[in-house]
Amino acid sequence: MSTILLVTSSPSCGSVSSTLAKELAAGLSASSGAVVVHRDVGTSPPAHLDAVLSSAIRKPADQRDAPEAAAAAGSDLLVDELLAADVIVIGTGLVNFGVYSGLKSWIDNVARAGRTFRYGAGGPEGLVGAKTAYVVVSSGGVYSQGPAAAADHASSYVETVLRFLGVQDVRLVRAEGLALGEEAAKASINAARAAIDAHVNV
């Protein structure tokens, strides 16, 4: 049976990005029969990339001390979930022009030389394989066009990481302008839901 890895990253219970990402994953699951594996890195953030984790993921397993082995095991679990997934759905709010810190930590745990990417004579090669990823980004401002477009470092960052890891089919769903008044926010969320429906009912 195929698997959808749903990664939500907002710590807020009223999260727009998590709500929409869950709806997208549920829709994809309903239309394909895929099982959803939910990794909530907003309320349970993965280990920060500290000295122990940084050292652990750069040495062979038999050379790790006990704290490094524990850190590597946490990272391995997240890598295994990513490698096992057929489809990836990631939700994040735009936070100070970047992603939620829990999502950054998740990325730091799953970007593993020798497991999810490697360097060869031809340069970097992603090892995550041919999968489709959906990235749901909610934001107070508008970044899809206009003067602030270059300031959205969340969607471009997550897409860059996914492509580096070998996921070439990356689809963005935006709910933007949420701080521009109730009507604008409602319209934006409705537009995001229409985009989700279009992805689900292909």
Ligand X SMILES: Cc1cc2nc3c(=O)[nH]c(=O)nc-3n(C[C@H](O)[C@H](O)[C@H](O)COP(=O)(O)O)c2cc1C
Q: How far is the CB of 140 from ligand X (least distance, A)?
A: 3
CB half-sphere exposure, 47, CA atoms < 13 A: 21
102 binds ligand X (CB under 6 A): no
* Cα gap 18→136, rounded to integer Å: 8
178 binds ligand X (CB under 6 A): yes
139 binds ligand X (CB under 6 A): yes
Q: How far is the CB of 138 from ligand X (least distance, A)?
A: 3
Number of residues interacting with ligand X: please give it, by CB under 6 A: 16
Q: Which of 13, 44, 96, 150 binds ligand X (CB under 6 A)?
A: 96
Nearest partner of 9 among 82, 81, 104, 97, judged by Cα: 104
Q: How far is the CB of 32 from ligand X (least distance, A)?
A: 25
* Cα gap 153→159, rounded to integer Å: 10
141 binds ligand X (CB under 6 A): yes
140 binds ligand X (CB under 6 A): yes
Which lies closer to ligand X via its Cβ, residue 97 or residue 164? 97
Span 9-28, contacts to ligand X by CB under 6 A: 10, 12, 15-18
| Dihedral sign, Cα of residue 98, residue 103, residue 109, residue 115 | negative
Residue nearest to ligand X (CB): 93
Q: Which amino acid is at 57?
A: I
Which lies closer to ligand X via its Cβ, residue 126 or residue 177? 177
54: CB partners within 8 A, 6+ apart: none
* Cα gap 164→3, rounded to integer Å: 21
